[in-house]
Amino acid sequence: MSEGAATGGAATGDTAPATAGMTADGTADTPAAVPGAGMVADSAGAAGSQNRTADIVPGPGGVMTDEVGVVTGELTLRTEYADGKVTLRVQYKDADEWYAVTGGSVALADPAGLDAVHGVAVALLHRPEG
């Protein structure tokens, strides 16, 4: 190895960049073309909307919604992911109307977290024993 290569400088006749494309602060010296960088295997799933549903029976206090206040009894919970955000909605079981759960919306950067968020929501809201 030449002295130039050991110290980060270019050796005589060496045409490779001495900085490997990085600057002292860790940012790229110039943008690198890396095929597939920033892509997920299922790009339609990352950009499109997704949802999960579960039948629940909330505790005695019911579930507070933005549109109609408290709903009780047999409900269906839907956890929706769209545009980087998760929203919880409920409906009376087998009804047509969906209601937004009050306070049930949060940013979610990675749609892969939808199952975990849905699981937590079901665990918090499904209280058939009271």
Return the residue matching tokens 């809201």: 125
Report the C-alpha dihedral over residues 90, 92, 97, 103, rounded to 10 degrees: -20
Q: In whole angstroms, what is the distance from residue 84 CA to residue 50 CA? A: 11
Three-class SS state of 98: coil
DSSP 93-110: TT-S--EEEEEEEEE-S-
- Regarding pTM above 0.75, the answer is no
The DSSP bridge pattern shows strands 85-92 and 99-107 to be: antiparallel
Per-residue pLDDT of the chain (130 residues; tens, 9 = 90+): 444 444 444 444 544 444 444 445 554 444 444 443 333 333 344 457 899 999 999 999 999 999 999 999 999 999 999 999 999 999 999 999 999 999 999 999 999 999 999 999 999 999 999 8
User: Which amino acid makes up residue 83?
Assistant: D
* Residue 73, CA distances (Å) to 24, 56, 78, 90, 92 in order: 61, 8, 16, 11, 8
Contacts of 94 (CB under 8 A, 6+ apart): 76
Token code pair at residue 8 = 């980060």
Q: Is 125 within 8 Å of 77 (Cβ atoms)? A: yes
